[in-house]
């Protein structure tokens, strides 16, 4: 993964500000970081851009690129450890390479603001990592042990994992609209696991904060509820993502799905 990130850093050495970079500088110059960007809460990426802009200016694109690559590295780390735990080191190496260096990966390498995609995906994996073994189990033989497993409905380990999951979810929701997808996916996961109340509280806290933000900014969020628009778009995006993991070949993308 480190090699891939270094290569990405080197091949983008001649890049300069482009695309939405200028819109972000202009739109958030007064610090109104809770204003939607393209309809999304973009507190983390817009805040990162403004922090660099206010401290280092725009004399160099390097600091912005380093932030974007760092976010991509976080995603790579999450993919690696999750896939290694699921299938071993070979699977982990293949999965990490496919995600970090795929047919659409150059976009993330070139455009730092796309950390609004890489961080929510990394956060989802972080949530799942901390959910490992969390399930309701009333067995008195295992309750209260410090091992993280399905036999610990209570205790310090569960609370730490629940807090960590909540923080990852908060990061996702504060980064882009993908955080909403993360929240919904987690809700389904928690319901299926019959998760303890502490885990649901950790889930609900950032969701309620995001809902409060949305209620105050919904007029500018451009939320579309038309299924004839949303469903075809979602299908195209899912296929595009799978195709990217399949080296840009639609047939391989379908196989990935």
Helices (H) and strands (E) in the chain, counts: 12, 0
In tens, the pLDDT along 95-153 reads 888 787 765 666 667 788 889 989 999 999 999 999 885 555 444 444 443 444 444 44
User: When comparing pLDDT for 153 and 23, which is higher?
Assistant: 23
- Structural tokens at position 244: 């990217």
The answer to whether residues 75 and 47 touch, using CB atoms and an 8 Å cutoff, is: no
Question: For the residues 149-159, what does the mean pLDDT come to?
Answer: 63
- Is the pLDDT confidence value at 158 over 80? yes
Q: What region does 148 belong to: left with phi over 0, alpha with psi -120 to 50, or beta?
A: beta
- Is the pLDDT confidence value at 12 over 50? yes
**Which pLDDT value is given to residue 147?**
40
**Which pLDDT value is given to residue 205?**
98
**Which pLDDT value is given to residue 119?**
94
Which stretch of 60-69, 180-189, 232-241 has the lowest confidence by average pLDDT?
232-241
The residue extents of the domains of the chain are 2-223, 226-257
- Is the pLDDT confidence value at 89 over 70? yes
Which stretch of 49-53, 145-149, 190-194, 204-208 has the lowest confidence by average pLDDT?
145-149
**Which pLDDT value is given to residue 209?**
97
Measure the CA–CA gap between 127 and 193, rounded to whole angstroms.
Answer: 14
Which residues, 6 or more positions from 17, have their beta carbon under 8 angstroms from its beta carbon?
58, 61, 64
**Which pLDDT value is given to residue 126?**
95
Question: For the residues 221-230, what does the mean pLDDT come to?
Answer: 70
Which residues, 6 or more positions from 141, have their beta carbon under 8 angstroms from its beta carbon?
151
User: When comparing pLDDT for 210 and 240, which is higher?
Assistant: 210
Q: pTM higher than 0.75, yes or no?
A: yes
Question: For the residues 225-233, what does the mean pLDDT come to?
Answer: 78
What DSSP string runs through 13-71?
Answer: TT----TTHHHHHHHTTT--TTS-BTTB--HHHHHHHHHHHHHHTTS-SHHHHHHHHHH
Question: For the residues 38-47, what does the mean pLDDT come to?
Answer: 90
Question: For the residues 189-201, what does the mean pLDDT come to?
Answer: 92
**Which pLDDT value is given to residue 139?**
42
Which stretch of 138-147, 226-235, 236-245 has the lowest confidence by average pLDDT?
138-147
Tell me 155's DSSP state.
S
Measure the CA–CA gap between 204 and 201, rounded to whole angstroms.
Answer: 5
Four-residue CA torsion sign, 3, 169, 108, 226 = positive
- Structural tokens at position 242: 């799978």
**Which pLDDT value is given to residue 180?**
94
- Is the pLDDT confidence value at 154 over 50? yes
């Amino acid at each position: 993964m480190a090699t891939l990130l270094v290569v990405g850093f080197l091949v983008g050495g001649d890049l300069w500000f482009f695309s939405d970079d200028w819109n972000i500088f202009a739109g958030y110059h007064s610090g109104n970081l809770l204003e939607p960007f393209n309809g999304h809460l973009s507190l983390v990426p817009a805040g990162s851009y403004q922090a660099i802009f206010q401290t280092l200016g725009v004399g160099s694109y390097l600091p912005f690129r380093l932030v974007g690559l760092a976010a991509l590295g976080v995603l790579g780390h999450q993919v690696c450890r999750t896939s290694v735990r699921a299938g071993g080191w070979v699977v982990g190496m293949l999965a990490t390479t496919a995600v970090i260096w795929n047919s659409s990966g150059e976009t993330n390498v070139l455009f730092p603001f796309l950390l609004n995609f890489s961080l929510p995906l990394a956060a989802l994996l972080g949530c799942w990592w901390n959910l490992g073994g969390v399930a309701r189990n009333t067995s008195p033989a295992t309750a209260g042990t410090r091992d993280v497993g399905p036999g610990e409905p209570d205790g310090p380990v569960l609370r730490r994992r629940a807090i960590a999951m909540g923080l990852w979810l908060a990061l996702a929701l504060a980064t882009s609209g993908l955080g909403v997808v993360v929240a919904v996916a987690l809700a389904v996961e928690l319901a299926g696991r019959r998760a303890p109340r502490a885990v649901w509280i950790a889930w609900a806290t950032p969701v309620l904060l995001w809902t409060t933000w949305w209620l105050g900014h919904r007029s500018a969020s451009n939320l579309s509820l038309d299924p004839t628009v949303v469903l075809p778009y979602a299908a195209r995006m899912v296929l595009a993502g799978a195709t990217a993991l399949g080296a840009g070949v639609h047939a391989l993308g379908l196989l990935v799905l």
